[in-house]
Amino acid sequence: MKKLLFCLGLWLAYSPFAIPQQTAPEGPAADTSSLLTGVAWYPEQWPESRWETDLSLMEAAHIHLVRIGEFAWSRIEPQEGSYDLDWMDRAIALAAKHHIVTVIGTPTDAPPAWMTQRYPDILRVNLNGQRDEHGNRRQFSYTSPRYLAFCRKVVEQLGRRFGHNPNVIGWQIGNEFSFDSYDSYTKKLFQQWLRDKYKTLSALNQHWTTAYWSQTYTAWEQIPLEDTRGNPGLLLDHRRFVSDVWLHFENNQIDVLRAQITPWQFITTNIGGLAWSDRWDHYTIAHPLDLASWDDYVGQGQVDPYKDGAMHDLIRGLKQKNFWVMEAQPGFVNWAPINNALDRGEVRRMAWAAVGHGADAICYWQWRSALNGQEQYHGALLGADGTPNPLYTEIQQIGEEFHRLGPELYGTTPQSEVAILHDYDSRWAIDFEPHTARYDQLQVLLDFYRPLRDQAQSVDIVPPDADLDRYKLVVAPSLNVIPDKLGQHLLRYVQHGGRLVLGPRSGMKDAFNALDVHRQPGPLVAPLGGRVEQYYALEGPVPVSGTWGTATADIWAEALSTRDPQTRVLMRYGKSNGWLDGQPAAITRQLGQGSITYLGTLLDASAMNAAVRWMLHGSGVHPVFGPLPHGVEVCRRTRPGHTIFILINENQTPVTVPLPHPMKDLLHAGPSSARVVLPVHGVAVLESNP
């Protein structure tokens, strides 16, 4: 009830006819699930006399959210130890007057000049030993105790000032954690991290097989800080160390905030890099957060609905609940090789697709380009004269639709019976030793995701240690690192009746990135009743045929063997390099009500569709909506007794979509209908309460 009150309160409070709230709305902040559109706004870059105009234009576009502050440290603390937050207070209050709530970004992604000049030890050092300078951003060392202390102090001031402000609904820690550092202090910290993990050098030497190339370490101080050419055991541990350091970086601020803010102000951090970035483990970083959020940029070209959808699903999987798009592309960016604009209508289509995958807020970066600075050419809602750009009206339409349909979407979330396992240890292990330049792990994920999304019409992407029992089918495209404990977790899922499908390169390494002596799939060789006899990087396609038809496989091929009479061969290679000829390419074994299947190669799209049909049929998974014309995406969000389908036309032509039963399109007035006509980039938001 509290949640509903809060959301209703938020919706009413920021509708055009309400007065700004004076008391803190009820309810937990993490449920700010009345759909919101917002913008990144930098009041510190403009005369205060301009703010009212900006906020009025935002309100006219049904924008009810601003994010401020994440690059304002030199304005917040113009001199060491003296803080000026009055301007921020006035900006937040003025925004509230225009029915706009605020998320505050802690300003720790860009330290002020007085700090970098007076304390150069806070500056990061790159892999070549060069220390960063002032004049850009992210020039800090993420391990510097002095920098962490400065971060703590400024966040304490912010939390104390705004932690009970009824118009501040959340906090963003820093901005897109990005660059690690290779300074001497970080190196010492890494060596200590290793010592805490392995306790003895002999344990480290054993797990890293440092007898190889005479690497054997006789002192912790000998261990290098390496992130590209080192021992695979070291490289994997270094990435885990980087993740832990960023976790400490954010907890250093979260601890201070939690002590200062009301429980309903949420805490997040915005994940950059198309959500596919892997400088650190997103699950580690998401752990202390209330809400996952990411920055959804297309860059060059047009949106790929499968890639964008998979990234949304990956982010939703971080907390396994709805998320925010903290930055979205307002037409075009300025950092791609060609900064083309998204087509007219594509920004709106992307916004509704994000909501369909579980987003509850979309915030555009940025409101208006600063008159100078490194991002003058980046897309924005206003032009250099402060009047709207053409895109403003499209975002105004999104805002109006979000505001009108917010209550219908409130408390709903995507529900899936199918999960894809996604794991940073495995991604890193393969990326350290790709063995072929053709193994693009995002494309491998999408090779499995596309047919699953098309046929099941809803897919979760979760870490391998998630609770899997809610899924009828679990697919692990390249689960390269399967420690014994994870092997047992996956086996339990199968023994509980789950259908597990392992993709190529699964189960090759143990927790130390060392070769698993069982061969692949490691601890699951025995339950599978088969294993990988040899893996082959392919220069071109090879024939393969069997249960899923006659097809080709490419990039990677593993020759499998069966070692149990119950293990069946599903697909075999045809004639190719001699080694693969006639060997199993896919095998499966029933275990109780469940099953384990191993696919040791990357099939062509048609065979992958057939394979997924086989997987879904065997798992009893049915599409959430039903038959759809090509190029129409369906997303389902449900809450008890209430189901919303969002249909999106991704074709370059209009399309008529027959509906499984008469439904009402909430975007447009009118009676229920048994079909809906979608224009190019068209969207329908259908209430399905048969």
Question: How many C-beta neighbours within 10 Å does residue 486 have?
Answer: 22
Q: Quick one: 342 or 555, whose CB is closer to ligand GLA?
A: 342
Residue 16 tokens read as 């055009």
Closest residue by Cα to residue 101 from 6, 174, 177: 6
Answer whether 364's CB lies under 8 Å from 351's CB.
Answer: no
CB of 305 to ligand GLA, least distance (A): 20
44, 70, 77, 176: the catalytic one is 176
d(CA 558, CA 546): 16
Active-site residue flag, 327 = yes
Interacting residues of 630 by C-beta distance below 8 A, sequence separation 6+: 651
Residue 254 tokens read as 């979260």
Q: Quick one: 323 or 645, whose CB is closer to ligand GLA?
A: 323
CB of 365 to ligand GLA, least distance (A): 5
State yes or no: cis peptide before 521, omega within 30 of 0: yes
Q: Quick one: 43 or 272, whose CB is closer to ligand GLA?
A: 272
As to burial, measured by CB atoms within 10 angstroms (0-12 exposed, 13-18 middle, 19+ buried), residue 124 is buried
* Alpha helix stretches (DSSP H) within 119-174: 145-162
d(CA 7, CA 33): 7
Helix/strand number for the chain, H first, E second: 18, 25
Let me know the angle formed at the C-alpha of 353 by 347 and 357, rounded to the nearest 5 degrees: 145
Residues that bind ligand GLA (CB under 6 A): 175-176, 272, 295, 297, 327, 333, 365, 375, 378
CB of 364 to ligand GLA, least distance (A): 10
Q: Quick one: 68 or 544, whose CB is closer to ligand GLA?
A: 68
Answer whether 489's CB lies under 8 Å from 465's CB.
Answer: yes
d(CA 39, CA 391): 13
C-alpha dihedral sign at 105, 110, 116, 121: positive
Q: Which residue is nearest to ligand GLA (CB)?
A: 295
Answer whether 209's CB lies under 8 Å from 306's CB.
Answer: no
Active-site residue flag, 650 = no
């609770």: which residue's tokens? 467
327, 394, 401, 417: the catalytic one is 327
CB of 152 to ligand GLA, least distance (A): 22
The secondary structure of 412-446, three-state, reads: CECCCCEEEECCHHHHHHHHHCCCCCCCCHHHHHH
- Longest Cα separation, the chain: 79
d(CA 217, CA 682): 62
Cite the active site residues.
176, 327
